[in-house]
Structure 1
Amino acid sequence: MQDWPLTLNDVEAIAHGRQTLFLPEQAQTAIAKAHQFLCDAIADRQRIYGVTTGYGPLATTDVDPKQSALLQQNLVYHLCSGVGEPLAHHHVRAMMVARIASLSAGHSGANPVMIERMLAWLLADVVPEIPSQGTVGASGDLTPLAHLARALSGEGRVSIKGSSWIESAIAHQQFGWQPLQLQGKDAISLVNGTSVTVGIAALNSTAAERAVKLSTLLVLLYAELLQGHREAFHPAIGELRPHSGQQQLHRWLWSLSESSAALTPWQAAAERLANMPNGIVQHQPLLQDAYTLRCAPQALGAVLDVVHQHAHTVQTELSSVTDNPLLFPDEHLVLHGGNFFGQHLAFASDHLNNALIQMALYSERRIARITDPLKNKGLPAFMQPQDTGLHSGFMGAQVCATSLVAELRSQAMPASIQSIPTNADNQDIVPLGTIAARRASCSITQLYQILAIESMVLVQGAELKSKQSLSHASQILCNWLRHYVEPLQNDRPLAEDINKVATALADPNEVASLMELLP
C-alpha cells in the first residue's frame, strides 16, 4: 500500500498498472463528511454554484434541488465536446489517480460511491475514451473530465485492459455494475479540476528525470570515446557555481568516471611549459574539450534543475483541491473561488518543454560529433568500419535525429501565453496548461528516440575501440543495449531497432539497472 499523500512515482506506478491505489481511512472519513455537509446544504436550499445554479455566465439562473440529477447530467453532456485522438491509456489512468487524490481531501462533496467506482475502474483497468483536445484548462480540464463522467454514467466508450473500445454500458454489465447517476455536486466536482494536466505532467516529470540520468551515462561514454579531460567533471568547479543540478552532475560524472582508463586523467600538478627558443610552440594538445563534453555538468545540470522545479510544482498540485466551490465542513463554509485555474502547471510544463528540447539538441550534437571522422578521434565515419562508402552505417539515423530536433524546435512556442477569452468572456483569461503538458509529453517521446539513436551509435563506437578501458558504468550501458539490438555490421533498416531501444529506455523497469548507477 502506497503512502499518502501520493508521490509522482506512485502516479507513474499506478498509471502503468504496477501498483494499486488504496484510500486510507482518513481520506474515506473526509470524503463522507464533506458529502454529508453538501447534502445538508442542499436540503437547506442554499445557493451554491453549479449545485443549485446554472454554470459559467448562466449562473444567474437558480435551479431547484429537485433538478439536481438533470443539472449534473446536462453539465456532462454540454462539456462532452472533445475532439482528436484519445489520450494514451497510461495518461487516462494517471488522470483518474489525480482526480481521486483531489476529491479525497474532503473539500469537494463528491459522493463516496463515485470515488469507489473510479478505484474499481483502476483495479479492473477500465479506461474511458478521452479525446485529447478541447480544453483550455481555465475551469480545470472540463472537457476531458466530462468524458470520464459520461463513461461513469454508462455512456460513451471504454477499454478493458487495453482492448478495443466497447460501449460503457456493456462494460458495466460485464462487471455487474450499475451506471452512476450523478447528482448533488458529483459532476462538477469531477470535471472542475486540473487532474488531466496533473496526471500527464506527473508522468512527464518522472520520465524527464530518467532522461537526464540516461543522458549523463551517454555523456560519460561519449567523453571516453573522445578521450576527454576528466578535469571538467571535478566537483570543485560546481562548488563555485552552486546550482544544485550542476553540482549533482559533477558528483555523478566524477564518481562514474573514476574507473575509466579511457579519459584523459586529471592531475593536480600543473604541466610545465617546455623551453621555447622562438617564443612559441604550436600544435600542442588542447587543455580542454568542446562544449558538448566540457560543459556537460552545466548543460545537463540546468536541465535537472528545471526537472526538479517542474516536479515540485506538479507534486504540490497533486496534493491540492482544485474544484469549485470548495467545502469546509468543520467551519460550515462554502467558498467560491478559482483553484481550478491551471496556471502553475502551464508555466511548469512550458519550462520543462524548453529543457527537454535543449536536452534533445545536446544529444543530437553529440551524435553529430562522434560520427564525424574529422572530429571523433579515429573512429570511422558514421561508425561503419566495413567498406565505408559502400555501407553508410548510422548516417541515416543521424539525419533522423536532426529531423527530430527540428520538429521539437517547431513545437517550442509556449502554450501558457496563448490565452484567448471564451465562455461569453466569463473565462476571460485561460492558462492552456493541458496543451503544455501534452506537448511536453510528445517532446519526451521524441527525446527518447534521439537518445536511442545516440546510445546505439556510442555503443558501436565503444565496441570498435575497446570496452576494456571504459568505466564500469559505460560497460554496463553497453551490455544493457546489446540485450535489445545487435551491432551494426552491414547496413540494415534501423527503424525497428530505434523504436525498440527508445521503448526500453522509456520503461522504468527496463532501465532500473542503469538508474541504480546514479543514486
Structure 2
Amino acid sequence: MNLSIDKRYITLDEIKEASTIEISKDQAFLDYINHTHNFLMNEIKNGKPIYGITTGYGASGKNYVTFEDSKTLQKNLFRFHGCGIGENLSYKVCKYAVIMRTVSLSKARSGVSVELLHRLEMLIEKDIIPVIPSQGSVGASGDLTPLSYIAAVIAGEREVYYKGEIKDVMEVYSELNITPYEFKPKEALAIMNGTTIMSAIALDAIEKFEIILDSMESYVAGMFEVLLGDDTPVADFVHDSKPFSGQIKAAKNIQTKIAGSKLTHGRDDRYDKFFADNDLNIQDNYSMRCAPQVLGVIRDNLIISKNWVETEINSVNDNPLIDGENQKIYTSGNFYGGYVAHAMDTLKICAANLADLLDKEFALLVDHKFNRGLGENLKLSTEPFYHGFKAMQISLSSLSADVIKNTTAASIHSRPTESLNQDKVSMGTTAANDFAKMMPDLHNMLSIAFIGMAQAVDIRGASEVSPHLKTIHDRIRAIVKPLYEDRRMDFDIKNINVLLQEAKFI
C-alpha cells in the first residue's frame, strides 16, 4: 500500500500496511511546510539564538554559533551520536521508524523543509533502510543516538538494509546515482529529537503480542475440551455481570472456539458427574475458570497501549517547536517518551500474566492428578521407561520464569545524564526493548503447549473435539508426529513456532 502523508492523523494499521510513502502534493500542505521553515530560517538569519540551531545542545545550550556554522552543527550532531550499541533492530522496525519520523515531521511544527520530507520518502521508495542499533537511548531527549542513524544515512554515512543485505550507504547511493543530502539548520535535530525508535519497537512487538494473545485463547479453549471442562465460566451471563469489554471479548472468543465440542459439559451435567466421580471437584481450577478474566485485563490494556503508541507517532515530539502561523518558537519537552514507556511497562506485566497462566494450565495438562485421564505426562505408551512431556514442561516453565523476571518497570529507572541537563528521562526505548524481548519466549512457550495439546487430542480422540481444535490438531500433526517413544523435540518446537508466528492457531 502507498501511504499518503500530510498533516492528517495516521493509524498504526496504515503504517503496518505501507509498502511505500508519498508526501502529499496538495499545495496548501506544501505551503504550510514552507511557511514554517521559512519563518525559522529568517529568525536564524536575524541572529536570534535558537536552541540546537544556533546554540550547542543540552548543557552546551549557552554556546552560540552563527548561521554559517549552523549546518556544521547539524552534521556534528548525528556524528557524535554515532555510538549505538546492542543488536541491530530488524529491517521491519527500522522501516517503521523512517515512516513514523516522516509522519511526525509532516505536521509542520518542526521547521523542516519539503526537501527533507522527500528524502525520507525516497528512502522508503528505494527501500534503502537505515540499520539502527537497539540500545543507547534513555528516551529523552528522545531517541537521539538510534535516530542519528537515520540522519546519518540521509547525509550519506553509515549502513543500510538494501536488497536483503547490509551495505555501506554510499555504495548504494553510488549505484543509484543519489547525492547525499546536506541538512539545513534544525533538520538533523528534528530527525533525532523524537520518540520514534521506541514507538517503532513497540508497534512491532504489539503486532506479535496480538497474535500470541489470540493464540492463547485458542489454547485455553482447547484446555476446556481436553480436560473435560465445565463451560459455564465462559457463559454470556457471567461476563455481562462484570462488563469489562476485554473480559467479555475473551470469554466470547473461547466460547466460539469450543463450539461443537463433545468433551465440554454444562453446569447441570456437572452435578451428575460430581456424584458419579468422587475425584471430581464441583468447580474447575482458577487457571481454567478465571482465564477470561486474566485475558480480559490484557485485552483492555492492549487497546489502551495501542492508542497511546498511535497518538505518540502522530505527535510532534522534537524541540524546539515552530509555530509558523503565529511566528513563535517554543522550547518544550515533547521528546519525553513517557506514554510509550508506561504502555510498554504495562504490557510487560500483561505478557507475564499470560506466561504465568500458560504455565499453570500446561501443568494441569501433563499432571495425571489433574488431567482427568490423560495420563502421566501425556504418555501414549504404557512402558515405564518413557517420559512423555516431562522435560517439555520443565522447558516451558523455565521460559515463564524468564518472562516474569523482566517485569520491573523501566520507566522508574530514570538515569540523569548529559551534565544533568537530562535529569529526568523516560526510559521508553528500554521499556519497548524489554517487552519485545518477551515475544520469543512466549512463542516458544505456546509452541510447547500446542504440541502437548495435540497429544491430548490424540488421547481423547480427534473426532470428539471442536472443529476449531481439530483444525489446529491437523496443522500440528502435518509437521509433528505424536510422541510415543522418547525423542528430541527441539526441532518440533521450532517448526510449530513458525506456524504460531504465521497466526495459524487463532
**TM-score, normalized by length of structure 2?**
0.93
Aligned to 1:457: 452
Equivalent pair of 2:416/2:422 in contact (CA under 8 Å): yes
Partner of 1:412: 407
Structure 1's unaligned 5+ residue stretches are 275-279
Residue-by-residue CA offset, 1:391-412 (whole Å, 9 max, x unaligned): 3333322211111111222222
* 2:14 pairs with one of 10, 14, 22: 10
The 5-angstrom pairing of residues 310-459 of structure 1 reads: 310-386=305-381, 388-459=383-454
Is 1:8–1:206's contact at 8 Å kept on the other side of the alignment?
no
Instruction: Indicate whether 1:290 and 2:285 are aligned.
Output: yes
Measure how far apart 1:272 and its partner are.
9.2
Q: Mapping of 1:48-67 within 5 angstroms?
A: 48-67=50-69
Partner of 1:193: 194
* 1:36 paired residue among 35, 38, 57: 38
CA contact (8 A) 2:351 2:403 kept: no
Determine if contact 2:270/2:282 at 8 Å carries over to the other structure. no
- 1:266 deviation in Å? 4.2
Superposed CA offset, 1:447-466 (max 9, x none): 11111111111022112221
What is aligned with 2:480? 485
8 Å CA contact 2:33–2:106 kept in 1: the answer is yes
- Conserved 8 A contact 2:53-2:186: yes
Q: Does the aligned pair in 2 maintain the 1:208–1:307 contact within 8 Å?
A: no
CA gap 1:64/1:296 in 2 versus in 1, 3 angstroms: same
Quote how far apart the aligned CAs of 1:489 are: 4.0
Q: How far off its partner does 1:323 sit?
A: 0.5
What is the deviation of 1:282? 9.2
| Contact 1:419-1:431 within 8 A present in 2 as well | yes
- Structure-1-length-normalised TM-score: 0.90
Alpha-carbon distance in 1 for matches of 2:176, 2:267: 65
User: Cα distance, 1:484 vs. partner?
Assistant: 4.4
Structure 1 contact 11–202 (Cα < 8 Å) conserved: no
Residue pairs, 1:136-175, within 5 angstroms: 136-163=138-165, 165-175=166-176
Taking structure 1 as reference, are residues 281 and 82 closer, same or farther at Cα in structure 2, changes over 3 Å only? closer
Distance of 1:196 and 1:273 partners within structure 2: 56
- Pick which of 486-495 and 245-254 moved more: 486-495
> Which residue identity does 1:247 align to in structure 2?
I
Shift of residue 134 of structure 1? 1.2
Between 1:49-58 and 1:393-402, the stretch displaced more is 393-402
Partner secondary structure for residue 487 of structure 1: coil
Q: Deviations over 1:332-372 (max 9, x none)?
A: 22111000001111111111001101101211222221111
In the TM superposition, what is the alpha-carbon distance from 1:482 to its structure 2 partner? 3.6
- Would you say how many aligned residue pairs link Structure 1 and Structure 2? 500
TM-fit CA distance, 1:230 = 0.6
Instruction: Give CA deviations for 1:372-407 in whole Å, capped at 9, x if unaligned.
Output: 122211113333313554333333222111111112
Distance in 2, matches of 1:145 and 1:389, equals 59
Cα displacement (A) at 1:177? 0.9
Secondary structure in structure 1 of the residue aligned to 2:160: strand
Tell me if structure 1 keeps the 8 A contact 2:144–2:192: yes
The whole-number CA distance in structure 2 between the counterparts of 1:20 and 1:491 is: 50
Tell me which amino acid in the other structure corresponds to 2:97.
Answer: M
3-state SS, counterpart of residue 263 of structure 2:
coil
Alignment partners' CA distance in 2, 1:471 and 1:261: 7
Q: What's the Cα RMSD here?
A: 2.4
Matched residue, 1:277: none
CA contact (8 A) 2:88 2:131 kept: yes
Percent identity among equivalent residues?
29
Q: Partner amino acid for 1:137?
A: G
Match of 2:114 in 1: 112
- 8 Å CA contact 2:221, 2:255 repeated in 1: no
1:229 — aligned with what?
230
Q: 1:340 to 1:388 in 2, by over 3 A?
A: farther
Unaligned runs of 5+ in 2: none
SS at match of 1:48: coil
CA positional deviation for 1:20: 2.8
Looking at structure 1, the residues matched to 271 and 86 of structure 2 have their Cα atoms a distance apart, in angstroms, of 63
Name the SS for the 2:435 alignment partner: helix
Question: 1:127-153 CA deviation, whole Å, 9 max, x = no partner?
Answer: 222222111011100010012211221
CA distance in 1, matches of 2:94, 2:272: 63
For 1:200 and 1:75, the matched residues in 2 are separated by 23
Distance 2:473 2:270 in 1: 34
Counterpart position of 2:264 = 263
**1:157 and 1:167 in contact (8 A); partners too:** yes
Once the two structures are TM-superposed, the CA of residue 223 in structure 1 deviates from its matched residue by 1.1
Q: 1:273 to 1:55 in 2, by over 3 A?
A: closer
CA contact (8 A) 2:236 2:252 kept: yes
Specify whether residues 479 and 58 from structure 1 end up closer, same or farther in structure 2 by C-alpha distance, changes over 3 A only: same
Which whole-Å CA distance do the structure 1 matches of 2:499 and 2:273 have between them?
49
Answer with 337-346 or 306-315: which moved more: 306-315
- Tell me if structure 2 keeps the 8 A contact 1:357–1:447: no
